Each structure stands twice: as structure tokens, then as C-alpha cells.
Structure 1
Amino acid sequence: MGRPDFEDLEVYRLSEKLANEIWHIVKQWDNFAKETMGKQIIRSADSVCANIAEGRGRYNYQDNKRFIRIARGSLYETINWLRLAYSRQLLTDEQIAKLKPIINDLPPKLNAYLKSRST
């Protein structure tokens, strides 16, 4: 079995970067924040890249598209958690500045990837 090709997808690499950035941020939170919001935001962020990878491993376009849509839903959930974390003062302006370009780039790339699977 060769190396999985999902690793070559820019949308996958970007979603993985988002998940890893969030992981490093949440590790610094206190126990209450980790238990209430931290686990949720990590799960949703990890789900974006996991679903892209799983969909890529499916053998037909319909299955792949379904997993891309799930990834998009997880991305929106992650954005929701980031908004709440910021309003609850769990994120610094520096952390937001690091995450914002990823959050701005990822939805259109995910939508473009979904559209490319419509063949």
C-alpha cells in the first residue's frame, strides 16, 4: 500500500494546520476551559481533515462528496467554537491573527474541492 494521496491535497494540509494550531492553543487553557470547550473544538477541527482523508479513500464520487460535506459542517462548527472562545477571552489577539488566514482560506478551498468532485 502506497502513501495516501490525500496528503497531497492543499485543502487537507490547510485543515490539518488548523487542527494542529488549535491543539497547541487548547493545551494552554485551564482545566475548566479544556473540559467544556477544548475537547469540542479539538474534535471539530480534527474532524475536518479526518473527513477529507476518509472521503478520499472512498471508491466513488458520491461517498467522497458526502465526506467533504461533513468536513465543511465540522469546519463551521470549529468556527463557531473559535468565536465563542474569543468572546470568552480564551484566545489572544496573536492567536486569532495566526488562525484567521487559515479560517479565511479554508471554506472556499473546501467548496472548490467539493465542486471538483462533481464530475
Structure 2
Amino acid sequence: MSSKKSNYIPLKELDIYVLSRRLSALAWIIYQRLDYQLRKTWGNQMMSSMDSVGANIAEGYARFHFLERIRFYYISRASLSESVEHWIDLGFERKIVTEEEYKEIKTTSKELQIKLNHQIKIAYEAKDKDLSK
């Protein structure tokens, strides 16, 4: 039996996944108060892109091949941009999103973007290390 500790982190403890779920929770609070028309025109798109961030992190994290993993992280990063830089900004401009919500989402998304970029870098380094064996 090996005394070496595993480096595996369960998905639900992975920082980027935790942050993505936090963003989804914040978006859900906004979505729940929308009327039917706003849900249909803005809210469904916003929720779909926001939930896509975590979904792609989860799918990428489960992939064995480095390049597949990286591909899903890139998709997650693009969904993050769509969610926050487009839908949340638009919602703030249209007074659907409060200033407090906007600031919290922006702060959380910035932290996630930095950590997601780092996760992509780590995946590339692991790929390069694996190829040099």
C-alpha cells in the first residue's frame, strides 16, 4: 500500500467549479423574480449561458485526455464571457440586475476567470510533462 497522497480533488471542491456554481446561484436569484416576458426574452438566455460555465468545467474535468480537458475549459471561459460581459451587463443597463448583484457577479466572475486561466495553464503543463516522459 502506498503512503503517497492522491492529488485528485473532487469536482465539488474544485475552486473553479465552486465559483461557477456561485455565479449560477446569483443568476438564479435574478431569474426567479422575472416576469414571464423577461424570462422568455432575456432570462432564459442568461441562465443557459451562466449554467454552461459550470457544466463545461464539469465535463472538462472528467476528460482524461489533456486536449479535450483544455477544450472544455475554453468553452467554459467563453460562456463566462457571454454570461457576464453580455447578458449581465445588458441586464444591468436595463435595470433588471441591481448594482449590488452586478458588483458581486463581476467580482466573482473576475476571480473565476483568473482561476480558469490558471487551470488551462496547468492542463497544458501536464500535457507537456506527459509528452516528455
TM-score of the two chains, using structure 2 as the length reference: 0.83
Find the counterpart in structure 1 of residue 40 from structure 2.
35
Q: Which residue of the partner structure matches residue 99 of structure 1?
A: 105
CA distance in 2, matches of 1:92, 1:7: 29
The equivalent of 2:71 in structure 1 is 66
Give me the identity figure in percent: 34
Instruction: After TM superposition, give the deviation of residue 25 of structure 1 in Å.
Output: 1.0
Q: List 4+ stretches of structure 1 deviating above 2 A.
A: none
Unaligned runs of 5+ residues in structure 1 are none
Amino acid at match of 2:99: D
Structure ID, larger Rg: 2
Whole-Å Cα distance in 2 between the matches of residues 59 and 106 of structure 1? 22
State the number of aligned residues.
Answer: 116
Higher relative contact order (CA 8 A, sep 6+): 1
The superposition leaves residues 17-64 of structure 1 with CA deviations (integer Å, 9 ceiling, x where unpaired) of 101110111110121111011001101010000000001111111110
Unaligned runs of 5+ in 2: 1-8, 127-133
| Counterpart residue type for residue 88 of structure 1 | R
After TM superposition, list the pairs within 5 Å mapping 1:8-47 onto structure 2.
8-47=13-52
What does the per-residue CA deviation read over 1:59-104, in whole Å, with 9 as the maximum and x for residues that have no partner?
1111100000000010001011001011111011122233222022
Shift of 1:110: 0.8
Helix, strand or coil at the partner of 1:74: helix
**Residue of structure 2 in register with 1:109 after alignment:** 115
